[in-house]
Structure 1
């Protein structure tokens, strides 16, 4: 069964909610029963939230050798659903035989011109894996050799985009972005510790209201590098993927060991319209993130894209 997103299955997107729920239950039950015949991810897109992960996910699952989850872009196993167990997780992915047939039909050459069919690779994407305090240790335990892709974006733009997204989805009731920023500290107080001590606890505010905290990328990357070899991690700037998609995507395929290929086009997804961010607030947020961006630059070995001076024509 091929499919991950409604863009690939218009019948699913138009189906009534009860039918979607019934189909989801059947798929999960069948997946669990056939878990040993299904793929496990060899790479994950782990965040950050509102940093272009959907666009990258869509481009990657279009690759003939890449198999995404059957139902959704993200399974949220390592953050929200870990108590379901490994068979439940594996049951969300494609049958190995199905993925192999798709890869063989594409007839993509391997590196060096070899003619053998490349082995399919499974993946999923979750914008919460990078930020949830238990996700990375769980990934390391269950998938120690997995490759991890992190997408980062100007944290000011990311924060405002996250707010607009939360409002549109009904996750945010505060009518102004500034008001939501003022509430953030109190909303998140004690939530990370509770997540650490109660593995089944789900924090609405930790997931949806961390506008500033999620943009402190250096803290999250340090936690990532503490658990994984840097060679397993690729950091991609959302701005680079937006402006130079072909070479950036080619570099991602090379990192993953996938045959060279490109989609017909690179699209943007989930953009949220809204009023421009007031310039005074933008400057204040830019100052807030400056020391965190400096730490990030030290980790990356160069300033992040949004802190580099513009290139003269």
Structure 2
């Protein structure tokens, strides 16, 4: 596969923001295909050694299944919080399209806790876990996960995570919100068109939840909810200013 035969797409995060749902929807478009196998996510641009192997290795390893599709997509949520990932991606891929999918950071934190709990990484109750992260970084085992499973709040400070991506790819970074993606089919169709694909061939995503954690969503104490909203206030304000629009939460 020649490196010039295809265009590239990176779905970089955020974690627990619906990127698996979006990735499957894009993979269903006849002119796009996502990296396989998934899982695991490629995470190529989080590793200097892997990204140095070059685009032909990248294609052989993750896109051996690709045929005549125009767009090759890599969904790796660890990319968003790695400030070196944009420069590594630029060195290998030139100017890929970059999609960032975000959601209410408080809801994201609860979803993250449910995921860590369901996967045996977290044993503390919800509020204890969130307050611990509010106080300081929590120790974690990199042998069990590629990023901290306990960064419930820090991972929701989207503005600072976006800075390197917007700097590296100011004209090809697309920021979407899960709340709007799920509510309005036009959001996906518009993204497909912005990626240079035929929006008339946009698939209809399945209604069922993708990669959802089991059980009921726990209620968050109202006082803690207010504390968390205050924690995210500055980051949310910067995000809204950078995007030039109101946030949907």
Q: What runs of 5+ residues in structure 1 fail to find an aligned partner?
A: 1-34, 101-118, 192-200, 307-313
CA deviations on 1:75-110 (whole Å, 9 max, x unpaired) are 1111258437335432233348x522xxxxxxxxxx
How do 1:282-293 residues align onto structure 2 when only pairs under 5 Å count?
Answer: 282-293=225-236
**CA deviation after TM superposition for structure 1 residue 205, in Å:** 8.0
**CA deviation after TM superposition for structure 1 residue 241, in Å:** 0.4
Determine the C-alpha separation between the residues in 1 that align with 2:7 and 2:247: 29
**CA deviation after TM superposition for structure 1 residue 278, in Å:** 2.4
- What TM-score results when the alignment is normalised by the length of structure 2? 0.85
How do 1:147-296 residues align onto structure 2 when only pairs under 5 Å count?
Answer: 147-173=97-123, 175-184=124-133, 185-187=136-138, 204=145, 206-228=147-169, 230-244=170-184, 246-260=185-199, 261-267=201-207, 268-272=209-213, 273-274=215-216, 275-296=218-239
Determine the C-alpha separation between the residues in 1 that align with 2:220 and 2:49: 37
Q: Which one has a bigger Cα radius of gyration?
A: 1
**CA deviation after TM superposition for structure 1 residue 123, in Å:** 0.5
**CA deviation after TM superposition for structure 1 residue 206, in Å:** 4.0
Q: 1:138 to 1:180 in 2, by over 3 A?
A: same
The equivalent residue for 2:59 is 90
The structure showing larger relative contact order (alpha-carbon pairs under 8 Å, at least 6 residues apart) is 2
Determine the C-alpha separation between the residues in 2 that align with 1:70 and 1:56: 15
Determine the C-alpha separation between the residues in 2 that align with 1:89 and 1:284: 43
**Count of aligned residue pairs for this structure pair:** 240
The equivalent residue for 1:58 is 24
The equivalent residue for 1:99 is 67
8 A contact 2:42–2:62 mirrored in 1: no
- What TM-score results when the alignment is normalised by the length of structure 1? 0.69
Q: What runs of 5+ residues in structure 2 fail to find an aligned partner?
A: none
Q: 1:186 to 1:207 in 2, by over 3 A?
A: closer
